């Protein structure tokens, strides 16, 4: 073996080592973030965190009950907007793959997916806050709904494509119309996956802060009114994080723990369901 | 009968789908409409003026553009080698048992909300950066890149947080690109006696436009990233070359000031910044998509797959 060959081999080894190191380097922040969130957040996570209202500065304890309800309301509004539009659009895209409108919608969904959340927030601010001169839960829900929309459109389209063509052919052969075949055969077959996709999209927008700062704003009180400002977990964590109070910092970590736990749960759920779906479809195809 | 039904079905679903299109156009129209005062009053000077003083009614966006570009490019500089390394490891080197868990972990990295990175940034990363800055030797402090007081918050902290957040996106797409390179390319290389790296280099070369697309996709993310950056960059509208200097970004100023903008002009100036962010991210994403298309039409949906939200697909 010549020196040249040895050098080639050494280079190859070095690059392999670099790539391995890159994975480790990328996972260090993940580990650190999870470590700090859990080690600082868990001790502050007492039962009253879920049932109590925020306490004023100086009084320890208190919780984020209003913020959690607020987040649920916000993602509820977002779901009500994004799911019907998103699923039906996904059906259209998978049924009329090559139509001109289909390509335009697919492109629009991709564009929408790439728009920063803060810009979507500005849009919601312009259409749902400015005209009424008031921050509202509805405005925040609109912002989150617009963010969810492209995710649901593309997830629905892709999952409908996974349904074997024979399902549809069978329905059509039995005399079903196209709409009947879609609603009663194809969509139900893809439903578990679509529901999972929706849950993951929900978990993702539930972690959004930027578009809520000037749409749903924040509310120190318990509120379920859609035309009033409403508190949310993320904005509350932000408010506490940039405050100068030690107590509030602890609350911020606790809030972050709840967020991370929810996201972990949904990610794992999605993973589990995806696996099962893949296995199921391999069985039928 | 069936034909009639089919047409109604197409019309109905098509109308709903068109809503997605209408929303995107609506966003563009609204942003232009709501920034009109600022566009008319300042014109192009808006983008070259350094003064941002809402109280005096002076609005110049140069510091924000500078901060956004600086922090995003810094993040790319830090994240690109790591992202490509991860992609190579996952696509070419990883033992089979490790692959799925590692993919899941990198997806998790992308799924952590910006606000949590921000929280971590403020209380963990910034103190570390401050210590680093204090430890910087005196002679180095005279270099413009490292000048200024050691505050902790500033460009360096922002670049680091952004790099962490962008890496999983670039890595996921770059991995798709490597997977799309035909196996025959590698087999040919090995048959000629190539080492592993030489074969990988060939695959990288084959997919080079796609790799650039993957990096640009990360750029699109970095440009619009708001919370984590807002919390660690220091929010000081100045144009500085220093990594240690507190600066400001386009997204951050919108986040901080839109809710409190009392003047109409202030409002419109902020929306104009949003409008430019909108245009820039669309252009960057479109370019990246174009590059990805050229390698393989299979990875066109990869940017979505890279987002954990589409993990179910």
- Paired tokens of B225: 């990233």
pLDDT of amino acid B307: 39
Question: Would residue B16 count as lying in a domain?
Answer: no
Cα–Cα distance for residue pair A218/A134, rounded to 1 Å: 12
Q: Average pLDDT, stretch B237-257?
A: 95
Helix (H, G, I), strand (E, B) or coil at B153: coil
- Give chain A's mean pLDDT: 90
Exposed, middle or buried by CB within 10 Å (0-12, 13-18, 19+), for A91? buried
Beta bridge partners of B234: B247
Residues of B with Cβ-Cβ distance to A109 under 8 angstroms: 20
* Cross-chain residue pair B304–A113, CB shorter than 8 Å: yes
- Give chain B's mean pLDDT: 90
Exposed, middle or buried by CB within 10 Å (0-12, 13-18, 19+), for A261? middle
Question: Would residue B72 count as lying in a domain?
Answer: yes
Percent of chain A with pLDDT over 70: 98
- A-B interface: how many C-beta pairs under 8 angstroms? 311
- Phi, psi angle pair for A71, to nearest 5°: -60, -40
- Work out the pLDDT band at A2, boundaries 50, 70, 90: confident
Question: Would residue B35 count as lying in a domain?
Answer: no
Question: Would residue B303 count as lying in a domain?
Answer: yes
pLDDT of amino acid B305: 37
Residues of B with Cβ-Cβ distance to A10 under 8 angstroms: none
Residues of B with Cβ-Cβ distance to A209 under 8 angstroms: 113-115, 226-227
Residues of B with Cβ-Cβ distance to A33 under 8 angstroms: 112, 116-117, 120
pTM of the full structure: 0.91
Question: Would residue B52 count as lying in a domain?
Answer: no
Supply the range of the domain harboring residue B215.
62-310
Question: Would residue B33 count as lying in a domain?
Answer: no
Q: Give the B window 48-77 contacts with A, CB below 8 Å.
A: none
pLDDT tens for each residue of B44-93: 999 999 999 998 889 999 999 999 999 999 999 999 999 999 999 999 99
Question: Would residue B235 count as lying in a domain?
Answer: yes
pLDDT tens for each residue of B176-207: 999 988 888 888 999 998 999 999 999 999 88
pLDDT tens for each residue of B132-142: 999 988 888 88
- Paired tokens of A254: 């606790």
* Cross-chain residue pair A22–B20, CB shorter than 8 Å: no
Question: Would residue B28 count as lying in a domain?
Answer: no
Looking at the 3D structure of chain B, how many domains does it have? 1
Task: Residue B96: give its domain's CATH number.
Answer: 1.10.3720.10
Does position A272 have pLDDT exceeding 70, yes or no?
Answer: yes
- Paired tokens of A284: 């039928």
Q: What is the dihedral of CA A213, A215, A218, A222, to 10 degrees?
A: -150
Do A258 and B113 contact (CB within 8 A), yes or no? no
pLDDT tens for each residue of A125-154: 999 999 998 999 999 999 999 999 999 999
Q: What is the dihedral of CA A139, A140, A141, A142, to 10 degrees?
A: 50
- Paired tokens of A280: 């199921």
């Amino acid at each position: 073996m010549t020196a040249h060959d040895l050098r080639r081999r050494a280079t190859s080894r070095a690059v392999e080592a670099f790539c391995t190191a890159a994975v480790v380097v990328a996972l260090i922040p993940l580990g650190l973030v999870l470590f700090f969130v859990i080690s600082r957040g868990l001790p502050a996570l007492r039962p009253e965190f879920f049932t109590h209202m925020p306490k004023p500065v100086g009084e320890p304890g208190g919780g984020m009950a209003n913020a959690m309800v607020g987040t649920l309301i916000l993602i509820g509004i977002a779901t009500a907007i994004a799911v019907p539009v998103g699923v039906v659009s996904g059906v259209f895209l998978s049924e009329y793959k090559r139509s001109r409108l289909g390509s335009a919608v697919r492109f629009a969904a991709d564009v929408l997916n790439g728009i920063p959340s803060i810009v979507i927030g500005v849009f919601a601010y312009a259409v749902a806050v400015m005209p009424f001169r008031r921050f509202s839960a509805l405005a925040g829900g609109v912002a989150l709904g617009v963010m969810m929309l492209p995710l649901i459109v593309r997830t629905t389209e892709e999952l409908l494509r996974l349904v074997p063509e024979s399902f549809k052919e069978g329905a059509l052969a039995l005399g079903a119309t196209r709409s009947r075949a879609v609603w009663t055969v194809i969509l139900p077959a893809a439903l578990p996956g679509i529901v999972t996709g929706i849950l993951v999209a929900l978990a993702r927008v539930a972690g959004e802060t930027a578009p809520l700062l000037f749409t749903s704003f924040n509310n120190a009180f318990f509120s379920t009114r859609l035309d009033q400002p409403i508190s949310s977990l993320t904005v509350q964590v932000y408010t506490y994080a940039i405050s100068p109070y030690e107590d509030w910092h602890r609350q911020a970590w606790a809030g972050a723990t709840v967020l991370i736990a929810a996201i972990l749960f949904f990610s794992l759920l999605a993973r589990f369901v995806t696996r099962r779906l893949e296995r199921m479809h391999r069985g039928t195809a | 009968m069936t034909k009639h039904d089919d047409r109604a079905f197409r019309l109905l679903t098509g109308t709903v789908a068109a809503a997605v299109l209408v929303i995107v156009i609506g966003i563009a129209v609204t942003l232009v409409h709501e920034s009109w005062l600022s566009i008319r009053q300042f014109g192009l000077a808006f983008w070259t003026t350094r003064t941002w003083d809402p109280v005096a009614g002076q609005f110049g966006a140069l510091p924000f553009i500078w901060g956004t570009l600086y922090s995003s490019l810094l993040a790319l500089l830090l994240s690109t080698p790591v992202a490509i390394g991860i992609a190579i490891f996952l696509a070419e080197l990883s033992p089979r048992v490790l692959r799925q868990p590692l993919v899941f972990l990198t997806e998790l990295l992308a799924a952590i909300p910006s606000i949590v990175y921000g929280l971590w940034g403020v209380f963990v990363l910034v103190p570390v950066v401050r210590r680093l800055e204090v430890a910087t030797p005196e002679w180095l402090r005279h270099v413009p890149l490292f000048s200024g007081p050691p505050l902790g918050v500033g460009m360096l902290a922002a670049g680091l947080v952004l790099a962490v957040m962008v890496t999983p996106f670039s890595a996921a797409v770059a991995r798709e690109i490597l997977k799309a390179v035909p196996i025959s390319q590698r087999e040919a290389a090995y048959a000629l006696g190539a080492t592993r790296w030489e074969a990988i280099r060939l695959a990288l070369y084959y997919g080079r436009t796609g790799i650039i697309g993957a990096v640009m996709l990360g750029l699109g993310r970095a440009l619009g990233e708001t919370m984590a950056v807002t919390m660690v960059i220091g929010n000081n509208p100045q144009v500085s070359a220093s990594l240690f200097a507190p600066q400001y970004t386009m997204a951050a100023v919108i986040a901080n000031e839109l809710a409190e903008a009392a003047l109409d002009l202030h409002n419109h100036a902020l929306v104009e910044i949003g409008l430019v962010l909108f245009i820039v991210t669309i252009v960057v994403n479109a370019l990246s998509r174009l590059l990805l298309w050229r390698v393989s039409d299979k990875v066109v949906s990869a940017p979505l797959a890279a987002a954990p939200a589409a993990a179910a697909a």
